[in-house]
Chains A and B, each alone.
Chain A
Amino acid sequence: MIASANSNQSTLAVHAVEVHKIVRVGETSLSIINGIDLDVPRGQMLAIVGPSGSGKSTLMGLLGGLDTPSKGRIYLDGIDISDMNEFHLTRVRNEKIGFVFQFFHLIPTLTALKNVALPVRFAVNPKYDPNDRAHEVLTMLGLADRTHHLPRQLSGGQQQRVAIARALANDPPILLCDEPTGNLDTKSGQQVINALKEIRHNLNTTVIVVTHDVSIAEQMDRVVILEDGRLTEDRLMNQVLER
């Protein structure tokens, strides 16, 4: 078993215990995730790396409450989401998690401001006024002059920053990023990573990044490597660097 970086559960943003995911394809069952244990402390930046088909996206889906594990337990910010129904999972996603995707996935018909305001608008107990909050987050990410632009009127880097702003709108403790720089040039990609670092620094948000890009992984606090649905390596970057 791979040791967790921090075993104190109350300070953990993510606490996954013996997680399995088995899917049925036609007549056969495929085991995608095979008994993963993973603890991520608050404020940590974690990179999940691994080859294609290793189960990265499935793991991210499980950690983000997009799917439920076949076996094992997952705690997000201390809440057990393993057996939650879709209704409660949706609420958890809205309040506890921000998602950033490789292809941005902004709503093409809404302006940057409205895209960012969306999670606040659909919060059960909104902490902010949707538009004010959207302005605030967009300004924080240097997009104050792009609030009324539609996604197609923005560059790739700007679109990804809008997506990050949207992910931060409800001030979630966890940010899950799926190849956030995969669709960007190096410069824009670095800007996005810098933005994520800044967010962690200012808001103490836990950032989990799934990536292929070693240069991105190197900038995280910690890297776990996933192969065939198992975590084969778990290293803190300072240890790696020291080594």
Chain B
Amino acid sequence: MQRLLFYTEHSINDLRIGRLRTLFAVLCIAAGVAAVVSLQTLGDMMLEKLTTNLQELNRGDINLIPPIPGIERQGDAEPAKVAGLIEPAGGGAFVFTDLGIRELERWIKDRDPQAVVSYRHQFARSPLANAGLSKAGQDETEPVIALVIQVKDADGNPVYPIYGEIRTLDGKLLSEVMREPTDIVVSDNAASEHDLKIGDQVNLGGAGDTLFTIRGIVPIEAEALTDNFVTTIFGFYYVDLSAVPLYTDYDPSLVTTDADGNRYAGQIYVRLSDTDPDHVRQLAQQLQDRYPFVNARTTADLRDRNSQIATALNNLMLIMGLMSLLIGGVGIINTMLVVVARRTVEIAVLKTIGLQGRQVTLLFLIESVLMGMLGGLVGVPFGLFAAWALRGFAGQIWGIDLDWVFSTGAVIRGFALGIIITTIFGFLPTLIAGQVRPGNVLRPNDTQLPSTGIWQSLLVMTVIFVTLGLIAWTILGNGISPDPTSRWSIVSVGAVLALSLGMGGAAVAAGRPFLKRRPQELGTRGRVGRFLLLTVGALFQTGLQGVLFFAIGIIVVAIVVTHLTVATALGALIIGVVAGLILSLHGLRTQPTLAMTMGGGLVGFVFMVGLGGAIGMVIGWPAYALLHQSHLDVWQTIVDIAMNIALVEAALILVALLFAVLWLLVELTSRFPSMGLPDVKVSLRALSSNRWRVSSTLLGFIIGVLALSLVTMLAIAVKRLFEISLEDTLGGNVFVATGFTSEETQNKLVNVLDTTEGIHSYTLVTNYITDFVELRKADGRVLKRQDLIAVMGRNVGGGLEETNRMTNFFDLTVGQIDGRSVTSTLPDKNFNEGNRQLNANDAGQRVVVVTGNEAMLAAGIESGDILVLEFPSSGEILKFRVVGVSDERLGDIQSAAGSPIYAPIDAFSLTRPNAIGAVVDIDESQIGHLRRRLSTEVGYTFVIEAKRLSELAQRLIDQFTLLPFLVSILTLITGGVVIANSVALSTMERRREIGIMKSLGVQRERVLTMLLIENGLMGLLGGLIGVGASVLLLIQIWAWIFEGDLTDAIPISTALGLMALCVGISVVAAMLTAWGASGEKPLNVLRYE
């Protein structure tokens, strides 16, 4: 105990005396802890939001959902459709019919007479097709989701929502403000987007000339947390059921009531008199047994689902935060190594007076643990503050008002992880401390650190793998494990042993004295071995350096050549490899030991991986045989832990390779010509003399840069991609949708489009809701839906989840069909041989082009097949011959901009379309004129520009990229702190050098300049590699999508901006720490250093 007190006291004193060094080391960990705490707290706030007030979130004790792609149900929709309980609403989705609503209401009331039933209907599946809102007297129509709700029941009691309440921003209930059929309430995002205020009068899509009045504004959160995530993008308005007769312009199947007053519902909400969870669950189960097409979601189901989502989100946050912490760990290694190096004499003294090596190790380990604790103490409040600050920002983007939650779990996890990571990363330097020889006390100027022995290195590696593996296991669980009952699970044991032995073997092999001997000291066999190892090492070096030059080459090409193609990229790769080879050959002459060590390490690695794998299999088989039947849970745990350890090992191998590349790069950079400038020369030499620390610091920094640049550039690239593909897909820059479906409307529309100035071309598009009947293959086989599901199941590998996903995608794809004018612009699609686009000869023919998305390919649809579709609005069944399956790589994005299947516009016989619209290519200046003409001559029309659609898409992208963006910013901050730490350590180590320079007459500014050049170079390297790697990944993505045409692939200005940011961060970090060091009085330094 006394010793422990001594260790602690001594460590505290040392940390106190270390001041700046301690500060930066603590900040490294604090930044990581802050990232973990803030992200976890945000995650917990989401969890809280998603799992409290479940009855409100579920809008009832039970929420009845009709068949919708993506929502599970027990039985098929077909019988219910036949019975008239549901009707198709497009895209494979259904709505409850009036008969269905009454039937379900009756069934519920029979069992619970006090039950309250309410419902809500959303007008159209796509807000772009039929819904919209425009201020009275204005042309511009904005997409908004229309939510038809039952504000009050027959007795005048408020029934929406039946649990909780929705209040306007001025505190009023919906039932208080929505008194007349023309009273509506809009969401705050729609109000701010379209500049709407209470009292404004608006026209609503589908409701002709009727003017509605805005009576209230509600926060977006009122719907965002239910199943209406899409409302956060478009906004919504509430309108009462009583207003439905005012919607005269819609197709009957899309509105909530038809001409006879029959209702339709998208969801039915039930409040029971007995809300005991078991009772609710039982009743929901009975209902589902009776009506298998319904998904009866109870609050317990919702809690389970939301908990799963929140837990997954939380784990994701934890992993992301952990990344920051691991980067911070680099700072700890660097600091502890310097601490140990500067205190070798002190350690030697301690050993002379009787401290054992392990006691010295413990002493330093306690110091690093204390640093971790301090990091935690500083990081936790920062993390909480960051969470508090980000809460509003995240809430705004996600459309929910996150309540502040003080998450004890997040604080404990952040604090504990901070200590664990510091301990792990501090372990190697402290082991080195334990190795310092007591004899050093007699040679105080010799501060070279001893190397750890093979066994110590293996011990450190094992501790790191197991600890990080266990942390990964607690987060990922069995997420990456194979099925424990399958024989594949044995591989997990083999993988751990293979990778562990591989790395151990590499370490042992690389440390063999044989590798460092000269040829003349070796016998014939030795010389042959040496030659082989040199060859392997040189090839390995060539590969690493090739990657390096490739990255640099790509950036240069991207900057210099505007038209970047796969061929250019390939050229850069070849140049990279050749340059790598030249350097390796040069390295063979000047540094054969390096190549020998690398070759030895690689050969050792490969050999031991094979051996480890074999041993793993030998151990794994009996373990599997013994456990997988009788003690499956034990075997499962073994497999899970083994897989997570293997994952950590694989990740660390990757990191080690990256480190090797960086090491080589730093080596190369330090050989750059100094152009006769002594300052540059000194800076370059300084980089070279601290290769280990510079490389490890760069590694941490680069991960931050890579994360930020990848997220930023990918978001920009996807936005740009969306813009390009949207206009290509639409075949124009404006999309017009009418609220009417008659032939007369079509004629009026054609007339306006034919006679409006500035229109270059247009395509008339009709849209029909369809039901898939069957597919007739060219060989005579007839495949019904069930047959195709089986085919898809086989093609996607037979997994149930994947088959369900594919089935939903299939339903969505064949759930509607477009009619397109074959004489105008058609979507820009690629076709493989045997497939083609529609052409003028197809006019009036029942031929169809099918988007070759994942589902269609899995179903095996090909040119020549006959697609049989039913049109529910007329009951007609039509057969279409497939003439082209497009070669798609952007199925999802394209299907969002039109139906994935289309036929000539005049091929639909008597069936009336569900929507009529047009894609128009028009001068931007004429769009307003077109709007006015359509409004007066056609009636209610919805005109949206492709640009506006991309804006909406961009908002969606922003929502999805927010979290990664936040994480990458936090990671980069940690990377910046690690750089500052490295600079602080470097200036501290070089105080003597600085003192000598100053005593020779070098001015402070000049010393500072040298330090800034050195660190600016480091930042530039970090930027080049981090941003360069993002560019490479982007090119890969682009090449995959566009097959060769990489024009505009890289947002060059963003890339350059990010690089400048990197240099800026490192220069600022250097300024912060180098200012004081450069101002030291030379005498002080030389006397006391």
Contact = CB atoms under 8 A, between A and B. Distances in A.
B10 A107 contact: yes
Given A66-B438, A107-B346, A108-B17, A123 B354 contact: yes
A64 interface: yes
B345 A105 contact: yes
B354 A107 contact: no
A121 B442 contact: no
B353 A118 contact: yes
Interface stretch (A89-97, A133-141, A194-202): A89-97
B226 interface: no
Contacts of B353: 93-94, 99, 118-119, 122, 166
B6 interface: yes
Contacts of A166: 353
SS class, residues of chain B in contact with chain A: helix
A95 B6 CA distance: 20
A57 B13 contact: no
Contacts of B3: 121-122
A118 B352 CA distance: 11
A8 interface: no
Contacts of B246: none
Contact of A122 (B345, B354, B437, B439): B354
Nearest to B10: A109
B354 A110 contact: no
A99 B354 CA distance: 11
B781 interface: no
B823 to A, nearest CB: 87
B440 to A, nearest CB: 9
Q: A109, A121, A123 — which one has the most chain B CB atoms within 10 A of its CB?
A: A109
A103 B352 contact: no
A138 B1058 CA distance: 62
Interface string B311-354: 00000000000000000000000000000000001100111111
A120 to B, nearest CB: 9
B351 A90 contact: yes
A210 B354 CA distance: 21
B356 interface: yes
A100 to B, nearest CB: 10
A93 B352 contact: yes
Given A90-B355, A122-B354, A107 B349 contact: yes
B357 interface: yes
Q: B3, B9, B13 — which one has the most chain A CB atoms within 10 A of its CB?
A: B13
Contact of A105 (B14, B355, B439, B441): B441
A67 interface: yes
Contacts of A108: 17, 346
B971 to A, nearest CB: 35
Nearest to A87: B356
A interface residue count range (under 10 / 10 to 19 / 20 to 34 / 35 or more): 20 to 34
Interface in B263-282: none
B517 to A, nearest CB: 10
Contacts of B2: 121, 130
Contacts of A225: none
A165 to B, nearest CB: 12
A72 interface: no
A48 to B, nearest CB: 13
A98 B843 CA distance: 106
Nearest to B438: A66
Contacts of B16: 109
B443 interface: yes
A110 B13 contact: yes
A66 B356 contact: no
Nearest to A170: B354
Interface in B671-699: none
A236 interface: no
Interface string A53-68: 0000100110010110
A87 B13 CA distance: 27
B443 A105 contact: no
Interface in B536-559: none
B444 interface: yes
A174 B355 CA distance: 18
B961 interface: no
B535 interface: no
Given A86-B357, A118-B353, A66 B6 contact: no
B993 to A, nearest CB: 21
Contacts of A90: 351, 354-357, 438
A57 B352 contact: no
Contact of B14 (A61, A87, A109, A122): A109
Contact of B354 (A64, A93, A114): A93
Interface string B5-47: 0100110011011000000000000000000000000000000
Interface in B407-455: 437-439, 441-444
A178 B441 CA distance: 10
A99 B17 contact: no
A99 B13 contact: no
A208 to B, nearest CB: 14
Nearest to A98: B353
B741 interface: no
B6 A103 contact: no
B446 to A, nearest CB: 12
A172 B356 CA distance: 18
A64 B359 contact: no
A66 B357 CA distance: 13
Contacts of B441: 66, 99, 101, 105
B352 A64 contact: yes
Contacts of B345: 105
Contacts of A94: 353-354
A109 B443 contact: no
A166 B355 CA distance: 14
Contacts of B10: 107, 109-110
B443 to A, nearest CB: 7
Contacts of A99: 349, 352-353, 441
A159 to B, nearest CB: 13
Q: A99, A108, A122 — which one has the most chain B CB atoms within 10 A of its CB?
A: A122
Given A99-B441, A110-B10, A122 B349 contact: no
Contacts of B355: 90, 122
Contacts of B6: 114, 118, 121
B889 to A, nearest CB: 60
Nearest to B356: A90
Given A66-B437, A91-B354, A122 B442 contact: no
Nearest to A104: B349
Contacts of B442: 57, 60-61, 66, 101, 178
B56 to A, nearest CB: 60
A33 to B, nearest CB: 13
A202 to B, nearest CB: 21
Nearest to A123: B354
A66 B352 contact: yes
Contact of A61 (B17, B356, B439): B439
B439 A66 contact: yes
Contacts of A61: 439, 442
A99 B437 CA distance: 15
Contacts of A93: 351-354, 438
29 contacts: A57-B442, A60-B442, A61-B439, A61-B442, A67-B439, A87-B356, A90-B355, A90-B356, A91-B354, A93-B351, A93-B352, A94-B353, A97-B352, A99-B441, A101-B442, A105-B346, A105-B349, A107-B350, A108-B17, A108-B346, A109-B10, A109-B17, A110-B10, A110-B13, A114-B9, A118-B6, A118-B350, A123-B354, A170-B354
A-B pairs with lowest CB-CB distance, top 8: A94-B354, A109-B13, A66-B439, A119-B353, A122-B354, A57-B442, A105-B349, A66-B438
Given A90-B356, A101-B441, A105-B349, 6 more contacts: A61-B439, A61-B442, A66-B439, A107-B346, A110-B13, A114-B9
Interface of A: 57, 60-61, 64, 66-67, 86-87, 90-91, 93-95, 97, 99, 101, 103, 105, 107-110, 114, 118-119, 121-123, 130, 166, 170, 178
